[in-house]
């Protein structure tokens, strides 16, 4: 038995502790298999009690050395049973933590930084799923960062009592405020880990991609990142589904409060709302049920400070931050039959940014893991993620093939190249042409590898361009001719 234990210890990855000092205290991380990770670092005070529905507040300093060996809680939610990225921790309202992965022996003290924003429809998700592990990025010379942000009604909530408490705002979009606070933490602290705060790429998928849209167009985020990647993040919001305003979201918040027995004219409404349990706030909402709660849950809103307009309005008006962008979606993404939801908006964003003189590259991810190719004619929503992270082994296990691994290595390398240079191209990879409307070229990640060329869905997507709803006011009828005398 003793011999077996010794063999197990010899075969296990070597674990060593590493220390770093940030603006709130000292941390101890863990190094294993060439990567040093610091997890569960608080970047804002726990948003509980009186801090529920407030902008992120500063973290209290700690004495001694704080362990950063494990993930903190993911944000409070009702998990989605069929989620392809199941949480690795229990969810809790105390969840505003950040994680950092680094190469054990970095070649530079100024590593490019990548900051990941998870998806989940703004009601699910977290930074702990194994497919979001940043180790491969770190092994390839990246300071990789992920973090948690508030979800559901914790992340998006408006009520007249909140406006009365904080009349100058910001209000409503607490999830986006968390994301901005995390990016500010990166600016203050990533140099202590060996990262370069002047070379930051923010990227996300689905709701995370939508978040990148909002961050790219927020007046509060200038200088917080230098590059952006939008994976299946939409981009046509205000034409088909305009974001609600604070005023309309307040009515939704009042409806939710009333459903909990808290009346609109109650002078203690806010105190009572903050006294509700976290489960009462979740109220059974997740990706499967959020559409059923449209009258009592708003989602992102135009608040006038953090979000001043929908992203497509902003890019049409040239209000976005002018940084290099990768944008794309999957071949059988949400809304595949019509193109509206993901494919056409990605192309619209590429066209609009390119016309504004921004470097932009469009992709379509069509690759399906070989074990699933007989059942799926295309890549479903979110299936590019384990290839982007090169965590396909964690996702597909024994079903993983050498071809799957090769596609993952190529995809991951394009993302790394972009983070390092602002251009996804590099040695040993097919050339990915920058997007221009005249050529309409993208990179398609296919069963035989990355294939650059004109968009094969051009005709379909041209026909799918949504037309804004225009309120037509009937003209008054012409005056009646004068009666004959």
pLDDT at 7: 42
Which residues fall within 8 angstroms of residue 331, CB to CB, at 6 or more apart?
Answer: 364, 365, 366, 378, 379, 444
**Residue with the two structure tokens 């060439």:** 34
163 falls in which pLDDT band (50, 70, 90)?
very high
pLDDT at residue 1 in the model = 47
Q: Are 283 and 296 in contact (CB under 8 A)?
A: yes
Mean per-residue pLDDT for 81-91?
91
Whether the predicted pLDDT of 54 surpasses 90: yes
pLDDT at residue 480, rounded to an integer: 39
The DSSP H or E segment spanning 417 is helix 402-421
What number is the average pLDDT over the span 199-227?
Answer: 97
Is 173 a residue whose pLDDT tops 80?
Answer: yes
**Is pLDDT above 80 for 13?**
no
Question: In the prediction, which pLDDT does 337 show?
Answer: 72
- Cα–Cα distance between 376 and 438 in angstroms, integer? 32
**Residue 206, domain extent:** 16-147+172-241+307-464
Q: What is the pLDDT of residue 482?
A: 39
From residue 224, give the alpha-carbon distance in Å to each of 75, 80, 181, 219. 23, 32, 10, 11
When pLDDT is cut at 50, 70 and 90, the band that residue 339 belongs to is low
- Cα Rg of the chain (Å, integer): 24
209 found inside a domain: yes
**Angle (nearest 5°) at CA 332 between 315 and 468:** 35
Whether the pLDDT of residue 2 is over 60: the answer is no
How does residue 201 score in pLDDT terms, banded at 50, 70 and 90?
A: very high
Is 476 among the domain residues?
no
Residue 11: is its pLDDT beyond 60?
no
pLDDT of the residue at 241: 66
Predicted pLDDT at 470: 38
Token reading at 294: 């449209």
In a domain, 84, yes or no: yes
The CA distance from 235 to 243, in Å, is: 12
Locate all alpha helices (DSSP H) within 206-304, ordered by sequence: 207-216, 237-240, 246-259, 269-275, 278-282
Tell me the average pLDDT across 252-264. 97
Residue 395 falls inside a structural domain: yes
pLDDT at 485 over 90: no
Number of domains making up the chain? 1
| pLDDT at res. 4 | 45
Which residues have CB under 8 Å from 69's CB, separation 6+?
28, 29, 30, 39, 40
Query: How far apart are alpha carbons 213 and 36 in whole angstroms?
Result: 30
pLDDT band at 355 (very low <50, low <70, confident <90, very high): very high
Asked whether residue 415 is domain-assigned, the answer is yes
Identify whether the C-beta of residue 125 lies closer than 8 Å to the C-beta of residue 207: yes
Determine which of 178-187, 328-337, 390-399 has the lowest per-residue pLDDT on average: 328-337
Share of the chain above pLDDT 90, in %: 87
Distance of CA 397 to the CA centre of its chain: 25
264 inside domain: no
In this prediction, residue 336 carries a pLDDT of 76
Prior bond of 170 cis (ω within 30°)? yes
CA 114/CA 137 separation, integer angstroms: 9
Q: Is residue 11 part of a domain?
A: no
- Residue 67: beta bridge partners? 28
Dump pLDDT digits (tens) for 277-319. 999 999 999 999 999 999 999 999 999 999 999 999 999 999 9
* pLDDT on residue 469: 43
C-alpha 449/C-alpha 430 separation (Å) is 9
Give the model's pLDDT for residue 265.
Answer: 94
- E-strand ranges in 84-155 read 91-92, 97-103, 111-117, 143-147
Tens of pLDDT along 423-478?
Answer: 999 999 999 999 999 999 999 999 999 999 999 999 999 998 886 543 333 333 34
Residue 409 in domain: yes
pLDDT tens readout for residues 236-246: 865 456 789 99
Task: Write the CATH number for 313.
Answer: 3.40.50.1820
């Amino acid at each position: 038995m003793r011999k077996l234990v010794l063999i197990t210890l010899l075969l296990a990855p070597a674990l060593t502790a590493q220390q770093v000092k940030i603006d709130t205290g000292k941390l101890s991380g863990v190094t294993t298999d060439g990567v040093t990770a610091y997890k569960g670092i608080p970047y804002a005070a726990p948003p509980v009690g009186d801090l529920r529905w407030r902008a992120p507040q500063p973290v209290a300093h700690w004495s001694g050395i704080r362990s950063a060996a494990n993930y903190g809680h993911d944000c409070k939610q009702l998990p989605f049973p069929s989620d392809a990225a199941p949480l690795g921790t229990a969810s809790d309202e105390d969840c505003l933590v950040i994680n950092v992965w680094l190469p054990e022996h970095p070649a530079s003290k100024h590593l490019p930084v990548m900051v990941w924003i998870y998806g989940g429809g703004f009601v699910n998700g977290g930074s702990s799923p194994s497919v979001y592990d940043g180790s491969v990025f770190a092994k390839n010379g990246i300071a990789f960062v992920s973090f948690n942000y508030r979800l559901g009604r914790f992340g998006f909530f408006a009520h007249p009592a909140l406006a009365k408490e904080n009349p100058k705002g910001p209000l409503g979009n607490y999830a986006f405020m968390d994301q901005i606070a995390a990016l500010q933490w990166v600016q203050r602290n990533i140099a202590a880990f060996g990262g370069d705060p002047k070379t930051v790429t923010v990227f996300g998928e689905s709701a995370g991609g939508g978040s990148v849209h909002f961050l790219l167009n927020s007046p509060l985020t200038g200088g917080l990142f230098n590059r952006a990647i939008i994976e299946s993040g939409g981009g046509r919001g205000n034409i088909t589904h305009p974001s609600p305003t604070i005023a309309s979201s307040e009515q939704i918040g009042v409806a939710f409060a009333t459903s909990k027995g808290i009346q609109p004219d109650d002078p203690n409404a806010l105190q009572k709302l903050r006294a509700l349990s976290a489960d009462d706030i979740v109220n059974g909402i997740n990706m499967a049920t959020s559409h059923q709660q449209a009258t009592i849950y708003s989602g992102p809103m135009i608040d006038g400070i953090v979000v001043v307009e929908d992203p497509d309005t902003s890019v049409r008006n040239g209000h976005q931050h002018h940084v290099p962008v990768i944008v794309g979606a999957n071949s059988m993404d949400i809304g595949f039959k019509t193109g509206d939801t993901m494919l056409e908006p990605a192309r619209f964003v590429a066209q609009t940014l390119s016309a504004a003189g921004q470097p932009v590259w469009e992709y379509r991810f069509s690759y399906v893991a070989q074990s699933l190719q007989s059942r799926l004619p295309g890549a479903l929503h979110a299936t590019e993620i384990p290839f982007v992270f090169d965590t396909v082994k964690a996702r597909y296990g024994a079903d993983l093939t050498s071809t799957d691994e090769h596609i993952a290595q190529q995809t991951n390398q394009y993302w790394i190249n972009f983070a390092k240079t602002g251009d996804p191209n590099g040695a040993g990879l097919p050339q990915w042409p920058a997007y221009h409307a005249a050529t309409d070229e993208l990179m398609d990640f296919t069963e035989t590898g990355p294939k650059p060329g004109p968009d094969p869905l051009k005709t379909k997507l041209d026909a799918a361009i949504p037309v804004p709803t225009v309120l037509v006011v009937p003209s008054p009828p012409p005056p009646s001719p004068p009666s004959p005398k």
